[in-house]
Amino acid sequence: MKIAKSIMMVLGLALGLLTLMSSQCNGTDNPPDPDCSGYIQATATGNVNQSFCFDNFPQYVYDEENQRVSFSANVTVDGQMYACDLSVVPFVVGTQSYSCGQDDPGFVELIIHGDNQEFYKSQSGTLTITQADATHLKATFDVVTKGYNNGETVNLNGSVSYGF
């Protein structure tokens, strides 16, 4: 009888550990790359399902006088080039969240170059800038984008770290 209880207890512990280990998933098929040392780290779901580490050719404009901040970087994945652009006009110095609808000050775009060329432009969501100056940018974004040509939806979320 003691052996049966011991076996049941071990099986119960094993089942509990398996359940705990499987519940550690964050709910996305494309979690952010923990080894990304790029400027923009992003995850796309929907019509595009891909994790990105945008680490090439950063372009940063910080124009306090004209209240404008913009940033872009690109990456090539399996021979396909992708770019991510974001901007805020008008920009307010300090930590601020910006809406990213069609007529809002925030803007995020995922661009696919080449044969599958498409421009996924933000339709809703937010872009939060936590630090911006002439040489640094830290921001996060969580937006729903829509393809300019195909009309398909891509959810895009991630972060920007430039100059750190």
Please check whether residue 108 is in contact with residue 88, taking contact to mean a CB–CB distance below 8 angstroms. no
What pLDDT is recorded for position 7?
A: 35
**pLDDT at residue number 19:** 31
pLDDT of residue 35: 81
In this structure, what token pair is assigned to residue 154?
A: 């891509």
Compute φ and ψ for 60, nearest 5 degrees.
-130, 130
pLDDT in tens, the chain (164 residues): 444 434 333 333 333 333 333 333 333 344 556 688 899 999 999 999 999 999 999 999 999 999 999 999 999 998 999 999 999 999 999 999 999 998 899 999 999 997 789 999 999 999 999 999 999 999 999 999 999 999 999 999 999 999 98
**pLDDT attached to residue 102:** 85
What residues does each domain of the chain span? 33-162
Q: In which residue are the tokens 């696919």 written?
A: 112
- Give the model's pLDDT for residue 51: 95
pLDDT (0 to 100) of residue 32:
53
Structure tokens at 72: 């872009």
Kindly state the tokens that stand for 11: 């099986």
Q: Give me the pLDDT at residue 92, please.
A: 92
Q: What pLDDT is stored for residue 59 in this prediction?
A: 97
Cα separation, 39 vs 54, in Å, equals 6
